[in-house]
Chain A
Amino acid sequence: MTDPLLAPPKKNPQRRSTSPTRPPEMRSRAALGLTAAAAEGRLALQCCAECATWQYPPRDACVACLSNDLPWVDFPPQGQLLAETTVQTSPRLYYRERVPWRIGTVKTDVGPIILVHIHPDVTPQSAIHLTAHLDRAGQGVLVAMPPQETSNAMDAPLMRELTADPKHRRVLLTDARAENAPAMAKALKDAGAAIIFIGESESWRPYTARAALQEIGVEFMPLDVTDTLSVQTLAGEIGGKTDILINNAQFVRPGGALARGDVGFAQNEMDVNYFGMMRLAQAFGPGMCKRTADEANSAVAWVNLLHIGALANTPEYGAFAASQSAAHSLSQSLRSEFRTAGLRVMNVFSGPTESDWFASLPPPKVLPQSLARDVIKGLQAGVEDVWSGDIAKDVRDRFRRDPKVLERELTFGGDGP
């Protein structure tokens, strides 16, 4: 059984911080299909559409019948651990710093032989359960887990490398005024976050949730994501202590271009939703990137809360949706810019939330507690893309099926299918 992870000791200020290193990043295009599924927490492999043979390693033609039709399908995770070794030395710095490292050969019940990482709770030559995760290079890897859940399993050093668990980590939640702030703060506290910094803008203007936040136990820090100096000042203060940054600052108003009549609110939307992310990234990003190998409370994740309009514009909130697309696109740039450091960018998409500015929309809407729970689960699983609530999943599925058809559905309105 895994020992529970202890709160890390205070960092020795005389010691040089461990430089970030990564496992190998290069993959063929076919192999990226595994990564794409793992990015959402799914274990998927190619299954030949013609003869139903499972393929591994990923490839371009069926190993049994040469068909090129190899869609990615959710994979039954059961298997048997046939052999294992513990790597004691490696020419790759990332592993050199982390040996001994346990790997093994699994024979899956449905066929393929898979080389895997092995969780410490797995007994040699036993039945196992496969899971897919993103490693520090942001690529999909497979892990052999014991078939039954074991206590503190996620505290194992292997799992801490593959996830962005908030336990014992220090989190910055950027907007105390957001309606989801108290639920977020509570969820983080319950998940074992060591410190919750919360950004509070315009202290000259009170807000009702402050007392509740105080009750939960957060550290209020002045922060206005529209004020460059404010962002830089806070980064100067706590940038070196920010392990997870959750940007919940959001400006939303209804209406598309014509309904608005001017660009005033759109400027606010861009200033908060897009430029806010950019300011935060410029101020906090470099410091977080330097600390991704900083022992147990390393900098590990950047979380954006995005509306599903990022994917396909929702015209009732057309201008706002455009700002979400801008933010989404920027988050993809951040993924690339943070890649070499191994800092994970996690986007949590949701449909309308149970909040003031979506009040005129019919249910289902995402409650703050649900959103918060999905953020925590996403961090604990180390995924990159989270779809919170039914609408988000629905739009995602329609978008993947055919983006143009979805565009018509969203912009046409009317009588439904």
Chain B
Amino acid sequence: MTRRLLRLGERVYGLLVGLYPKRFQEQFGWSMKQNFRDLLDDPDMPTSRIWLSVLRDLGSSFVHEHLANLTGGRFMTRFPLPAGALRVAMVVVLIGATPLATGAAGYYLGRSQVQPVAESAFPPVMYQTFYFAHGTKWKTPFVCPVAPAPGVPAVDTWVFVEVTGTNEPQCPSAP
């Protein structure tokens, strides 16, 4: 195994050791890493077997130590937890965590990669949504200044105006 791979392996294992409770790490963290280095240096020990044993090891000792830490040691019995129960617990956690992780990843990707749709060039007014056919012409409600009576100042009022093609509706010109 090359020196670089050894260093990488040690670094990864260092991260895994970081998953144990803090007090445990303070007491045994260095020894565990040294132990792992010794295993990697051992010519009789295939690297694949080391990693397999480390992962299997994590599944049991990590859970044990955290439970012991939470319960002040009351959990620690003379007998180890049944391996089957631990495996089932890990599968349940994985099944539960997968949709959460997928959702989080999807949310992140959605936020980071999808660009917002360009805003319409038209102002957001009613005529974009309320077209209707009036006789043979398309008309839409539109706010226009309309004088209620001759000589009275114009007031903004909803009126129906004709729409042609994609042109913006125009208020009817005053008579």
State yes or no: do A and B come from one complex: no
- Chain A contacts to B: CB under 8 angstroms: none
